[in-house]
A and B are shown apart, each in its own frame.
Chain A
Amino acid sequence: MRSSIAAGGALVAGSSIARAQSDTAITQVQDWARRLGKGVDATAYGQPSPYEKDVVRRHVEWLTPSVQTSVNFTPLHELDGIITPNGLCFERHHAGVAEVEPDKYRLMINGLVDKSLVFTLDDLKRFPRRNQINFLECAANTGMEWRGVQLNGCQFTHGMVHNVMYTGVPLSVLFEEAGLKTSARWVMAEGADASAMNRSLPMAKAIDDCMIAFKMNGEALRPEQGYPARLVVPGWEGSMWVKWIRRLEIGDEPWHSREETSKYTDLLTTGKSRRFTWEMDCKSVITSPSPQAPVNHKRGQTVITGLAWSGRGTIARVDVSLDGGRNWVAARIDGPSLNKSLHRFYYDFDWNGEAMLLQSRAVDSTGYIQPTKAELRQVRGTNSVYHNNSIQTWYLKKSGEVENVEIS
């Protein structure tokens, strides 16, 4: 295929090079090549280029009754690699951003422990630390698409996810400090914000890989991500990653809090609902081309890229289809393949300029194959709200525009 691209390129692109006018971006001395730029003291905390001003989180006003109990979306279509910049990590609050003063931050451990303890932020930073790169995906990511396609862009359909390196203290270390009673089976995590968000976590998970994090991508947590400390629950739904965490209560039964009964339970067609659907299943999406990232060249060499992830392990493979799932080709995963982390995939191909139906299908390290939406609906119906990990279809038109579509 490479050789045919080269040959085709020589005929098509080569002729355009022969006809090209000289480029004034080259022939004229540009301002930045003549004048001095800003000094090192111009920006104490750097910002993206002003030309990247549209690479921002976006909000969909009609989704929720107020901006304080709401969500915004990571601009996945503009990002690459696997690390999400801190300022672009999607937000989900239930009572707005708590502005916690670090000197007044306290973490309490109580319940079925030998001694109830209080830690300051400085205390937490004296414990042995762990670094983990994990994705955080909202249980409702892609939830608006259960019944059909609705929002036109992967930022909106898949952007309730971020992936950063968290630094913090394992819960097992903190529990060691307090001493667990033999009846300790559950942990309730509670936030310091005005929603006092609380979730029940089984002890086995808590002491496996959960931690209280105080850094993300090397710096302090952003206020909207729980500054100064949050819970990290690798692979599990985002609502459990309690922000501004103030308390861990140890118990022998789950609490059945509002966020694990009224919300984050998944209604099935039988009228029954699944509860404690903690893991985020294997999922992928093509981030470019996508509705917000159209193809701007007519034909020829084209990069398809996207993200894949699984709450149950690593990604073993990602396949890409150009014809709506009739035929598939293996994509190339590039960069680290980490447990419960985003993976970046690419498929490089020679676009013939024809309309296409683009899909990606991930397979995780447990052998789980990402399902189609029809397969999910067949077992769950359309009112589950959460955990929609189905295959996304993008309609790439001859014009290079891309649209969110559903196919049969």
Chain B
Amino acid sequence: MSKSPEPVLVVASATGWALAYLLLLLGLAATPLGPVFAAEPGKGFGIGRPATAEEVRAWDIDVRPDGKGLPEGSGTAAEGEAIFAEKCASCHGDFAEGLDRWTALAGGVGTLKSDNPVRTIGSYWPYLSTAYDYIYRAMPFGNAQTLKPNEVYALTAYILLMNDIIADDRFLLSNENFTSVRLPNESNFIEDNRPDTATINEGEPCMNDCRAQVEVTMRARVLGVTPDDDNKGGRKRAIE
């Protein structure tokens, strides 16, 4: 499990009064809290009903890096290959390399400092749990939440194989050994350390004679990639 950023506030009590007090203490209560805490402390408004265990099981599908949320199950990379060919390869390619503009899931190792970084599960993602979580909740695109846990384990194993993180297609990934697998880029994420620009310490901004002569170095019109623009063609830099 990674180190998470320290929360600003630890909620010390479940009661409304304690929450309100803490908010006030920390100067977080920018908006008047009057009506918000009109309910009797600790009792709420009595709105809503308890969720049944079956309901929570149906929707509580998330998986964390420490393995919390992983369902029981397992699958091998070889099993994953067959499922991938049937349900995934039409967009992601037979080897998870990505077709057309669809996402590449493998490759790109060593490119993160280059001009054209290729961010895949192998080259970029910090945690394998994210792959399991995302495949289960959102894939295949257009037919989400149709995969069974064993299939997701198998697909995840296949992606590990395509990224050379495992070498043997008989590798069995399961809820038992899942957290023993670490992805190469895990240590390369840092917490937000903005603001990071020189101007933050400038005080009053410069108003007059702030820089020497300026010159135009780039023009969007020359690229001609804007819809309705009359100059078509040119290179395009897509967002992810």
A275 proximal to B (CB < 8 A): yes
Name the B residues within 8 Å of A184 (CB-CB): 11
**Shortest Cβ distance from residue A69 to the other chain B in the assembled complex, whole angstroms:** 7
Name the A residues within 8 Å of B37 (CB-CB): 173, 176
Q: How would residues 185 to 212 of chain A score, 1 for a CB under 8 Å from any chain B CB and 0 otherwise?
A: 1101010001110100011110111000
Per the bound structure, the CA–CA distance linking A121 and B13 in Å amounts to 28
Which listed residue (A144, A258, A291, A328) contacts B134, Cβ 8 A?
A258
A194 in contact with B219 (CB, 8 Å): no
Give the nearest-CB partner of A117 in chain B: B48
Per the bound structure, the CA–CA distance linking A83 and B154 in Å amounts to 49
Among A16-24, A37-45, A147-155, A346-354, the one that faces the other chain is A147-155
A267 proximal to B (CB < 8 A): yes
B138 in contact with A325 (CB, 8 Å): no
Among B117-125, B155-163, B165-173, the one that faces the other chain is B117-125
**Shortest Cβ distance from residue A272 to the other chain B in the assembled complex, whole angstroms:** 5
A14 proximal to B (CB < 8 A): no
Per the bound structure, the CA–CA distance linking A38 and B7 in Å amounts to 59
Per the bound structure, the CA–CA distance linking A258 and B62 in Å amounts to 11
Q: How would residues 43 to 82 of chain B score, 1 for a CB under 8 Å from any chain A CB and 0 otherwise?
A: 0110111110001100111111110000000000000000
A182 in contact with B11 (CB, 8 Å): yes
**Shortest Cβ distance from residue B31 to the other chain A in the assembled complex, whole angstroms:** 6
A69 in contact with B141 (CB, 8 Å): yes
Give the nearest-CB partner of B207 in chain A: A328
Per the bound structure, the CA–CA distance linking A211 and B115 in Å amounts to 40
A196 in contact with B226 (CB, 8 Å): no
Q: Which among B129, B199, B239 has the greatest number of chain A C-beta atoms within 10 A?
A: B239
Q: Number of B residues contacting the other chain (C-beta, 8 Å)?
A: 110
A253 in contact with B64 (CB, 8 Å): yes
Q: Number of A residues contacting the other chain (C-beta, 8 Å)?
A: 130
Q: How would residues 1 to 23 of chain B score, 1 for a CB under 8 Å from any chain A CB and 0 otherwise?
A: 11011011111111110010001
Name the B residues within 8 Å of A119 (CB-CB): 47-48
A207 in contact with B23 (CB, 8 Å): yes
Give the nearest-CB partner of A196 in chain B: B137
Give the nearest-CB partner of B221 in chain A: A403
A residues 355-373 near B (Cβ < 8 Å) are: 357, 361, 363, 367-371
Which listed residue (A172, A291, A327) contacts B220, Cβ 8 A?
A291
Which listed residue (A109, A127, A253, A267) contacts B4, Cβ 8 A?
A253
Name the B residues within 8 Å of A242 (CB-CB): none
Q: Which among B10, B16, B227 has the greatest number of chain A C-beta atoms within 10 A?
A: B227
Q: How would residues 250 to 286 of chain A score, 1 for a CB under 8 Å from any chain B CB and 0 otherwise?
A: 0101111110011101010111111111110100000
Give the nearest-CB partner of A58 in chain B: B227
A residues 118-133 near B (Cβ < 8 Å) are: 118-119, 123, 126-128, 130, 132
Q: How would residues 304 to 317 of chain A score, 1 for a CB under 8 Å from any chain B CB and 0 otherwise?
A: 00000000000000
A149 in contact with B36 (CB, 8 Å): no
A324 in contact with B200 (CB, 8 Å): no
**Shortest Cβ distance from residue B34 to the other chain A in the assembled complex, whole angstroms:** 9
Per the bound structure, the CA–CA distance linking A3 and B27 in Å amounts to 48
B221 in contact with A407 (CB, 8 Å): no
B197 in contact with A255 (CB, 8 Å): no
**Shortest Cβ distance from residue A324 to the other chain B in the assembled complex, whole angstroms:** 4
Per the bound structure, the CA–CA distance linking A407 and B210 in Å amounts to 14
Among A26-34, A59-67, A215-223, A294-302, the one that faces the other chain is A59-67
A residues 50-72 near B (Cβ < 8 Å) are: 58-66, 68-69, 71
B50 in contact with A173 (CB, 8 Å): no
Name the B residues within 8 Å of A258 (CB-CB): 130, 133-134, 138
B225 proximal to A (CB < 8 A): yes
A253 in contact with B14 (CB, 8 Å): no
**Shortest Cβ distance from residue B93 to the other chain A in the assembled complex, whole angstroms:** 13
Name the B residues within 8 Å of A132 (CB-CB): 31
Which listed residue (A150, A278, A404) contacts B237, Cβ 8 A?
A150
Per the bound structure, the CA–CA distance linking A363 and B115 in Å amounts to 32
Give the nearest-CB partner of A387 in chain B: B194
Per the bound structure, the CA–CA distance linking A167 and B100 in Å amounts to 42
Given the known A-B contacts A116-B50, A130-B36, are A110 and B56 also in contact in the complex, defined by CB atoms under 8 Å? yes
B residues 158-201 near A (Cβ < 8 Å) are: 188-200
A180 in contact with B11 (CB, 8 Å): yes
B112 in contact with A267 (CB, 8 Å): yes
Which listed residue (A186, A249, A406) contacts B217, Cβ 8 A?
A406
Given the known A-B contacts A65-B101, A261-B130, A272-B189, are A196 and B238 also in contact in the complex, defined by CB atoms under 8 Å? no
Given the known A-B contacts A117-B49, A123-B47, A262-B124, are A256 and B64 also in contact in the complex, defined by CB atoms under 8 Å? yes
Among A74-82, A224-232, A377-385, the one that faces the other chain is A377-385
Name the A residues within 8 Å of B55 (CB-CB): 108, 118
Name the B residues within 8 Å of A368 (CB-CB): 195, 199-200
Which listed residue (B8, B38, B62, B102) contacts A257, Cβ 8 A?
B62
Given the known A-B contacts A196-B145, A406-B217, are A361 and B209 also in contact in the complex, defined by CB atoms under 8 Å? no
A339 proximal to B (CB < 8 A): yes
A323 proximal to B (CB < 8 A): yes
Q: When A and B form their complex, which 9 residue pairs have the shortest distance between CB atoms, in order from nearest?
A: A324-B214, A204-B9, A404-B220, A406-B218, A177-B44, A116-B51, A65-B101, A204-B8, A196-B137
12 contacts between A and B (CB under 8 A): A63-B239, A109-B51, A150-B236, A179-B42, A203-B9, A204-B9, A257-B62, A261-B189, A328-B210, A371-B199, A385-B240, A404-B221
Q: CB within 8 Å of A: which residues of B?
A: 1-2, 4-5, 7-16, 19, 23, 26, 28, 30-31, 35-39, 42, 44-45, 47-51, 55-56, 59-66, 100-103, 112-113, 115, 117, 119, 121, 124-127, 129-130, 133-134, 137-138, 141-142, 144-145, 188-200, 202-203, 205-221, 223, 225-229, 236-240
Given contacts A204-B7, A371-B198, 8 further A-B pairs with CB under 8 A are A62-B238, A117-B49, A203-B7, A209-B31, A258-B138, A274-B194, A368-B195, A405-B217
